[in-house]
Chains A and B, each alone.
Chain A
Amino acid sequence: MAEAGKNEAFARGFWILAPLWLGVVPFGLAYAVTARSAGLSLLETQALSTFVFAGSAQLSAVGLFATGAAGLEIVLTTLLLNVRHVLYGLSLGRELSLTRRQRPIAAYFLTDEAFGVVSAADERSFPFVLGAELSLFMVWNLATIGGFLLGAAIPDPARLGVDLIFPLAFLAILVPLVRTRVELVVAMASGALAFGLARVLPGGLPILLTGVGGSLLGASLSRRTPPQRRIDPDDAVSEVA
């Protein structure tokens, strides 16, 4: 693929995530304010956003730091919250051909949001995925430093209601994915299961368990393998040529 084509794919990925900035910014600000009040320095607050780059895990970690929890406890909570990414990687890995060098880069910046918009888009290429991933990474890190410097002047996102952006975005991503009766059954059953599990289990665990349970249900109910949505401009070119 030509260099210009790669840049365009990167830009498309970058901008396809832009509507979510509206939800990322207040969330990032809230995280930084919480981290600051938990006694973390600017460097520590920023390091979590840059190196861990996982909103819900960072928020729960700073909460645990504030209570003086043991490091091991914080790491295990992070694992529980983030192990769902194994499923995203498995799903993306099947539809996207990555080189050995691209894989760790695509993995480092992987998030719920990037996985979501890429799943819903018709485009599959490394520059496109990286554009979407870095779009979120950039805004998350800018919001972190902004939130730390602005401090307590920032209103609570839940009070403004902007915390609703994320479920709305995930719903908007989900709707076009549901095309068959089995897919509808899986979506409804998964929603109900997650709702129930979220009342008794912490953070990421209901998502992981529902991801596995819902997909098992779908695989059992469908007899034929769905057509694979592997769209790679490189493949298309080589097929034409």
Chain B
Amino acid sequence: MTFWLTLTGMVAVTFGSRYAGLALQTELPDFWIRFLHFVPIAVFAALVAPSLQGNRAEWGIRVAAAAMAALAAWGTRQLWVALAVGMAVFWLLRIPF
């Protein structure tokens, strides 16, 4: 029973967070329109930077793989190309010499 009660709470706070922003349909002052323009940029930078480090001692090759993936993304604008390049670089550099 505790599980299902907890699950209900988790659904409420998760759906609440997801719905709150979408439901708010008001005219915003200029400053906040500019603010929202930068949200994806700030959020994706925040999702990338801490997780590049990884748990194992391989942050160097993870950063190298990310740099190549970023270049691929810049050149091709294709998500799958960037992922393929990044993972290929990562797995190649990971082979111990």
Contact = CB atoms under 8 A, between A and B. Distances in A.
Interface in B25-46: 25, 28, 30-46
A149 interface: no
Contact of A78 (B14, B35, B82, B90): B14
B77 to A, nearest CB: 6
Nearest to A160: B91
Interface string A176-207: 11100001001110111111011000000011
Interface in B1-26: 2-3, 5-7, 9-15, 17-25
B21 A174 contact: no
Residue among B13, B47, B62 with most chain A CB within 10 A: B47
Interface of A: 16, 18-20, 22, 40, 44, 47-48, 51-54, 57, 61, 65, 71-72, 74-75, 78-79, 82-94, 98, 103-104, 106-108, 110, 112, 115-117, 119-120, 158, 161-178, 183, 186-188, 190-195, 197-198, 206-207, 210-219, 222, 225-226, 228
A172 B15 contact: no
6 contacts: A22-B83, A47-B7, A98-B22, A161-B94, A171-B73, A190-B49
Given A103-B22, A210-B42, 8 more contacts: A85-B17, A158-B56, A171-B82, A178-B41, A187-B45, A190-B41, A194-B50, A219-B31
- Band of interface residues on B: 35 or more
Nearest to B44: A174
Q: Is the interface of A mostly helix, strand, loop or mixed?
A: helix
Contacts of B66: 164, 167-168, 171
Interface string B49-66: 111111110000010011
